[in-house]
Amino acid sequence: MSDVSIQFSNSYARLPERFFAHQNPDPVAQPELIKLNAGLAEKLDLDIAVLSSDEMANVFAGNLVPSGAEPISLAYAGHQFGGWSPQLGDGRAVLLGEVVDRDGVRRDIQLKGSGRTPFSRGGDGRAALGPVLREYIVSEAMHAMGVPTTRALAAVKTGEEVLREGLLPGAILTRIASSHVRVGTFEFFAARHDEDGIRTLADYVIERHYPEAKNAEQPYIALLGAVVSRQAVLVSKWFQLGFIHGVMNTDNTSVAGETIDYGPCAFMDEYHPRKVFSSIDRQSRYAFGNQASVLQWNLAQLAQCLVSIVNLDMDEAVALAQVEVNAFPEKFEAELVTGLRAKLGLLSEHEGDLALAFELLEAMANDKADFTNTFRGLADAIDGDVAKVRGHFEDMEAFEAWLTKWLPRVEQEDRPLAESAAAIRSVNPAVIPRNHLVEAAIRAGEDNDDFGPFNALVDEVTRPFDTRSNDSIYISPPRPDEIVHQTFCGT
């Protein structure tokens, strides 16, 4: 087999040995390529178009480790559902290495599902096909909708079975991330009272993600503030799309501010702030409406790790860190109001804008309105087709009352109505990865080895803002018998 060459530029593997374990991926029986993300490969400047489909399958299954790769599994800890887990780490993933993409941004190339590692604990180190397909679909949809996220470069079948609730086909996802440093990575060192480790990690993160923090009077406080800002942006974008992450543990919170670790995640069809899909979230800790406060809690854990390395006495360091963490709700709300204004097609800023948006959300919750189609439908209402959006509400009274406040606002804006409608369509997707479509794509792949529905769904969700014909299955909410009530972690 020919040597596969990737221009790796590895930095994490240069960190001290206690940050990771050297770990080659475990070869699998029969690698088969399901999908390659050619556009992303190009962006990463990977010369893999020259490879045969077999060679690609071997690379993305971990059977062929490209030269220059230094496969490592990363150490981390974390708070899971509020409880402390001192030892997590990449139990089923290896970081093959890093590349610098065409925009000059360093990206991790990780194989997820690549076999056991020193961090596997009781797990088998593998991934089932279903969760791999789900992560591929949802992460690429998120990217297309402008949400910071890890991405999917490839999916392969392993030709092996994994034991979950039954025997399932195994698969591996090649994940691309700005980095894989999590809040839980800091916690790993903090729990070991390893201040050198925290400092080394913080310096690494500043260098890679927040170079401007270097010049601040207190670089580690500036780092904290910068992470707070990025997470405020991220969680507000989730809110604007009706996205529920499902497992917002600190080990699933990226310090680069990307959505990471798509497990039992879901987009809502009918809007409700207390919506939960994850089968393991029994206390509704990670319900839609809790995501901002949970993220702030996660940031407080990061703050606790960082105060120990701030060059001040402890009380002063804690006070400064507290200010940054306390700024989260305000930053989140500022992002949210800007985003919601755009979703409503408003240009000018009025004091009551947030209240106006929440009045609509309340009517949607009471009337079981479809989140995506209601917002998208506001453009139709501007075009004169009010009936279409009204149809999403069980009882129209509250919505009608809301319309009489909102429409005049749009009409008063300093732009033609057609432009306002177009603006609404440019931020409110027509197509999201609806749970029933994701499930159908997984079923076809898992049961019939048919990846047609998966490929079609990826095509659709990666052009989310294009208007579809009224009879497109990709814009329809599920029929009652298609509704997905629960999603599973799939680990």
Q: Residue 429 binds what, of ligand AMP, Mg ion, none (CB under 5 to 8 Å, by partner type)?
A: none
Burial class (CB in 10 A: 0-12, 13-18, 19+), 481: exposed
User: Contact, 322 vs 310, CB < 8 A?
Assistant: no
Q: Which residue is nearest to ligand AMP (CB)?
A: 123
Residue closer to ligand AMP by CB (options 252, 254) is 252
> Contact residues for Mg ion (CB under 5 A)?
252, 261
Q: Would the CA dihedral through 222, 224, 228, 234 be positive or negative?
A: positive
Binding to ligand AMP (CB under 6 A) within 27-86 occurs at: none
Tell the smallest beta-carbon distance from residue 233 to ligand AMP (Å). 22
Residue closer to ligand AMP by CB (options 73, 373) is 73
90 contacts ligand AMP (rule: CB under 6 A): yes
281 contacts ligand AMP (rule: CB under 6 A): no
- Here the tokens at position 152 are 């999917």
Helix axes 417-427, 397-412, angle to 10 degrees: 120
With a CB cutoff of 8 Å and minimum separation 6, the contacts of 353 are: 337, 340, 341, 344, 346
Tell the smallest beta-carbon distance from residue 441 to ligand AMP (Å). 20
Tell the smallest beta-carbon distance from residue 182 to ligand AMP (Å). 9
| Torsion of Cα atoms, 244 then 248 then 254 then 259, to 10° | -10
89 contacts ligand AMP (rule: CB under 6 A): yes
- Here the tokens at position 443 are 């079923």
d(CA 404, CA 184): 48
d(CA 235, CA 299): 12
Q: Residue 286 binds what, of Mg ion, ligand AMP, none (CB under 5 to 8 Å, by partner type)?
A: none
Tell the smallest beta-carbon distance from residue 119 to ligand AMP (Å). 6
26 contacts ligand AMP (rule: CB under 6 A): no
Q: Residue 26 binds what, of Mg ion, ligand AMP, none (CB under 5 to 8 Å, by partner type)?
A: none
**H or E stretch including 157?**
strand 151-163
With a CB cutoff of 8 Å and minimum separation 6, the contacts of 472 are: 431
Binding to ligand AMP (CB under 6 A) within 240-279 occurs at: 247, 252, 261, 263
Residue closer to Mg ion by CB (options 261, 460) is 261
Binding pattern to ligand AMP, positions 125-144, x when CB under 6 A? Answer: xx------------------
Catalytic residue among 251, 261, 367, 380: 251
**Phi, psi at 360, each rounded to 5°:** -65, -45
Q: Residue 138 binds what, of ligand AMP, Mg ion, none (CB under 5 to 8 Å, by partner type)?
A: none
Size of the site for ligand AMP (CB under 6 A): 17
Instruction: Write the CA distances from 340 to 147, 287, 290, 343, 358, integer angstroms.
Output: 15, 20, 18, 5, 9
Q: Residue 125 binds what, of Mg ion, ligand AMP, none (CB under 5 to 8 Å, by partner type)?
A: ligand AMP
Asked about 251 being catalytic, the answer comes back as yes
Burial class (CB in 10 A: 0-12, 13-18, 19+), 119: buried
CB < 8 Å & 24+ apart, contacts of 79-83: 79/184, 79/187, 79/249, 79/250, 79/251, 79/298, 79/301, 80/249, 80/250, 80/251, 81/249, 81/280, 81/281, 81/283, 81/285, 82/285
Tell the smallest beta-carbon distance from residue 89 to ligand AMP (Å). 5
Residue closer to ligand AMP by CB (options 264, 453) is 264
The angle formed by the CA atoms of residues 195, 197 and 199, to the nearest 5 degrees, is 70
91 contacts ligand AMP (rule: CB under 6 A): yes
Binding pattern to ligand AMP, positions 109-128, x when CB under 6 A? Answer: ----------xx--xxxx--
Q: Residue 225 binds what, of Mg ion, ligand AMP, none (CB under 5 to 8 Å, by partner type)?
A: none
Q: Residue 209 binds what, of ligand AMP, Mg ion, none (CB under 5 to 8 Å, by partner type)?
A: none
Residues annotated as catalytic (active site), given as ranges: 251
Contact footprint for ligand AMP (CB under 6 A): 88-92, 119-120, 123-126, 247, 252, 261, 263, 489, 491
